[in-house]
Amino acid sequence: MNEDALIARIVERLRGVDTSRLALGIGDDAAAWQPSRSNRSVITTDALVEGVHFTRDVMSARDAGWRALASNLSDVAAMGARPVLATVALGFPPGTDPAWVLEAYDGIAALAARARCAIAGGDITRAPSIVFSISVVGEVRPSNLKTRAGARPGDVVAVTGPLGASAAGLAVAADRPDLAARPEYRSALAAYRTPEPRLREGRWLAASRSVRAMMDVSDGLSTDLGRLCTASGAGAVVERVPVHEAARAVAAAVNASAEAWALGGGEDFELLVAIEKRAFPHLAVRFRARFGRELLPVGRITAELGVRRTDGAPVAPSGWDHMDSPSANPSRSGLARSAGP
C-alpha cells in the first residue's frame, strides 16, 4: 500500500469524527479553522513512542492510538478547556502492517468522536519505531482558564478519582497476563490501555472561582503535586493517598505496593485540584451529584515549601522522569508511564 492509498484509508476511518469547526481539513497542505472570538485557545503536544511508552506485546494498535490521544486530551482538561481539533503525526518502521496503522486510527477516531474533537490532519512518515506525535487545540473562556499556579495556603488538595489503576494495569499486561481474564483486574487493564480523560470534570471545575489551580496526574501524585506546588510558590501536606481498588487487588496478587503505584505510577489522568477550603464541602457534594463519584481530598496547601506527610516525612517525587534511565528508576517495569509534562 503506498502513502496516498494509506491516507485515503485513514480518512475513511475518521469519517465519524465531527469536522463542523474546520474550514479546511485533511487533504490540503494545512488545515484551517475559525477560532471562537469569545474564547482563549490552549495548545498541547504529546508523543507516544514504542519501547518507551508502550510495546505491541502488551497493547493493541487500537489501544495505542486511543492512549496517544487521551494523554493530550487530559492536558486540555487540566486547563478547563474543551478540545476543538487535533493533528496526528505517525511514524512507523518499514514493513509495518498497514492494518496495524489503520487499527491505531480506529482508536484515535473512537476517542475523538466521544470528545467531539476534529482530526484536522497530520503526517505519516518512516521511523525507526512506532511514534505518535499528537497536538490538540482547545478552547476555554478566559475567566475559566486554570493553571498549575494559584494554589494558596489552606486550600484543599483533591483528585477527581482514585489513583494507581493504570500502573496496576501495566503490571497485569506486562508481567501477569494470566490475570487478565479475571473480572476484578479488567478495570486496571482498561485504565492502562484506554484511559478516560476528564474533560467534562475539567470544564465543570474550571467554572468555579473556588478552584484555584488544576493539572492532570500524568506522572504520579508525588511528582505532579510537587509541580503544582512549585508553580504556586507553596507546599503541601499529604493526609491520605486515594488508591484505586483495582490497584489494591493487583498489588495483592503480584506482591507490590498499591500506594506506591498511586504516588508514582502515573498515567491515571485524573485531575489534581487546589480548592478554597471553605468551598470544598459544597463543591464535593455538587461534584458527586453531577458525576456520580467522589471528589477525593488528598491534603492541604501550606506556606512551607515542599511536599510532606502529616508526620513531616518528605514525599519524594517517584513518578516517571524522561531524563532518567530505566535503571535509575527501579519502580518502572521497563516502560515509561507518561508521554509528557
Strand partners, 308: 237, 314
Residue 260 has pLDDT above 80, yes or no: yes
Give the mean model confidence (pLDDT) for residues 268-272: 97
Q: Does 190 share its domain with 243?
A: yes
Instruction: Give the CATH number, domain containing residue 121.
Output: 3.30.1330.10
Last residue of a domain, one of 144, 177, 212: 144
Q: What are the grid coordinates assigned to 89, written together?
A: 503525526
Looking at residue 115, its pLDDT comes to 96
Instruction: Look at 321 and 328; give whichever has higher pLDDT.
Output: 321
pLDDT in tens, 174-184: 889 888 888 87
Alpha-carbon torsion (165, 337, 47, 13), positive or negative: negative
Looking at the structure, tell me whether residues 78 and 166 fall in a common domain. Answer: no
Report yes or no on 200 lying in a domain: yes
262 and 139 within one domain: no
SS3 label, residue 321: coil
Asked if the model's pLDDT at residue 328 lies above 60, the reply is no
Taking the C-alpha atoms of residue 259 and residue 242, their distance in angstroms, rounded to an integer, is: 8
Would the pLDDT of 325 be above 70? no
285 found inside a domain: yes
Final residue in a domain of this structure, among 144, 165, 185: 144
CA distance 64 to 54: 7
Same domain (yes/no): 282, 229: yes
pLDDT, tens digit, for every residue of 211-228?
A: 999 999 999 999 999 999
Same domain (yes/no): 292, 164: yes
Residue 334 has pLDDT above 60, yes or no: no
Residue 261 reports pLDDT greater than 70:
yes
pLDDT tens profile 163-177: 999 999 999 998 898
| Nearest Cα to Cα of residue 107 among 75, 67, 136, 73 | 67
Neighbouring C-beta atoms of residue 21, cutoff 10 Å? 18
Q: Residue 331 — pLDDT band, cuts 50, 70, 90?
A: very low
Domain boundary residue among 109, 144, 179?
144
Q: Report, as an integer, the average pLDDT of 255-279.
A: 96
Number of domains, the chain = 2
In a domain, residue 196? The reply is yes
Whether residue 102 is found in the same domain as residue 166: no
- Round the average pLDDT of the chain to a whole number and report it: 90
CB 287 within 8 A of CB 188: no
251 and 179 in one domain?
Answer: yes
- Percent of the chain, pLDDT > 90? 75
Q: Which domain holds residue 78?
A: 3-144
Any domain includes 330: no
d(CA 167, CA 267): 8
CATH number for the domain that contains residue 307? 3.90.650.10
Clarify whether residues 302 and 171 are in a common domain.
yes
- Count Cβ atoms within 10 A of the Cβ of residue 265 and give its class: 0-12 exposed, 13-18 middle, 19 or more buried: buried
